[in-house]
Amino acid sequence: MRKNIVAGNWKMNNDLPQSETLIADLKKQKQISKAKVMVAPTFTNLWHAFEALRQFDIEVIAQNMHFAENGAYTGEISASMLKSVGVNTVILGHSERREYFNESDELLAKKVDSALANDMSVIFCFGEELADRKSGNQESIVESQIKNALFHLDALAFNNIVMAYEPVWAIGTGETASPEQAQDMHAFIRKTLANKYGSDVADSVSILYGGSVKPNNAQEIFSKPDVDGGLIGGASLKAEDFFAIVNAF
């Protein structure tokens, strides 16, 4: 049975006091659903967040990492550094990393390998841009992103991979994919995995949707059979909103 997951991607928001306040607010929320809950603070807040949430059912995860173990990579953070502050899951391939930091599929394949080699789990993000959707190319774009970054892996590796479909045109725009558009793409993603690895693997991988998920639309999106959760940006910065989404399962 695949897991339902709701992960909050804080992006480059919250300094230490703001992070402390948000975490204190998160601790006051009541979880009714069984979804696994994760939050991804900035690097500078990871250790504090891990310590503060140690006794809670909220996993602290990272937004990015470098593929190398260590060395002359000024400004970068490795998998083992993340693990040393209690982080066992990393988001890779976010469209903002692809767009603003030129992260290619080839680079992402290396990052995925490094995370898995360090016994970390990966939330792997991908999704088409508006022009791709307008020209009807969304499936071929998504398929190539998945193939180029993940299809060198063996089936077993998918025990530690969560897929996150985030159409670029829906991120931070207030425009969500319709529940039907999300379902169609998620079914396509599962079919793509099934073609390569078989249906047992495809059926066991969680596929999250990200892009303007809010308390008022989460339930409808999560009701779709191939949508196993959400990767939440803006709405994860308010504890009440985030937990309204967590509890939408």
Ligand X SMILES: O=C(CO)COP(=O)(O)O
Catalytic residues: 94, 166
127 appears as a binding residue in the annotation:
no
136 appears as a binding residue in the annotation:
no
Which two tokens mark 152?
């060198």
Residues of span 89-118 touching ligand X by CB under 6 A: 94
How deeply is 247 buried, as exposed, middle or buried, from its count of CB atoms within 10 A (0-12, 13-18, 19+)? Answer: middle
**Binds ligand X (CB under 6 A): choice among 128, 234, 246, 249:** 234
Q: How many residues sit in the footprint of ligand X (CB under 6 A)?
A: 14
Residue facing ligand X at closest CB distance: 233
**Binds ligand X (CB under 6 A): choice among 213, 221, 227, 245:** 213
Which two tokens mark 216?
């008022």
**Binds ligand X (CB under 6 A): choice among 6, 211, 239, 241:** 211
135 appears as a binding residue in the annotation:
no
175 binds ligand X (CB under 6 A): no
63 binds ligand X (CB under 6 A): no
42 binds ligand X (CB under 6 A): no
172 binds ligand X (CB under 6 A): yes
199 appears as a binding residue in the annotation:
no
Which two tokens mark 190?
């599962």
- Classify the phi-psi angles of 244: left when phi > 0, otherwise alpha if psi is within -120 to 50, otherwise beta: alpha
Q: Kindly report the number of other CB atoms within 10 A of residue 18's CB atom.
A: 14
231 binds ligand X (CB under 6 A): yes
**Binds ligand X (CB under 6 A): choice among 4, 9, 88, 138:** 9
Residue with tokens 């140690």: 54
CA distance 171 to 212: 6
CA distance 149 to 189: 14
Dihedral, CA of residue 37, residue 226, residue 63 and residue 116, to nearest 10: 100
In the complex, least distance from residue 155 CB atom to ligand X, rounded to whole angstroms: 26
Which of residues 9 and 78 has its CB atom nearest to ligand X in the complex? 9
Q: Where are the alpha helices (DSSP H) in 53-157?
A: 79-84, 95-100, 105-117, 130-134, 138-150
Confirm if 167 and 177 have CB atoms less than 8 A apart. yes
Q: Which residues make up each annotated binding site for substrate?
A: 9-11, 172, 212, 233-234
Residue ranges in contact with ligand X by CB under 6 A: 9, 94, 166, 171-172, 210-213, 231-235
Q: Which residues make up each annotated binding site?
A: 9-11, 172, 212, 233-234
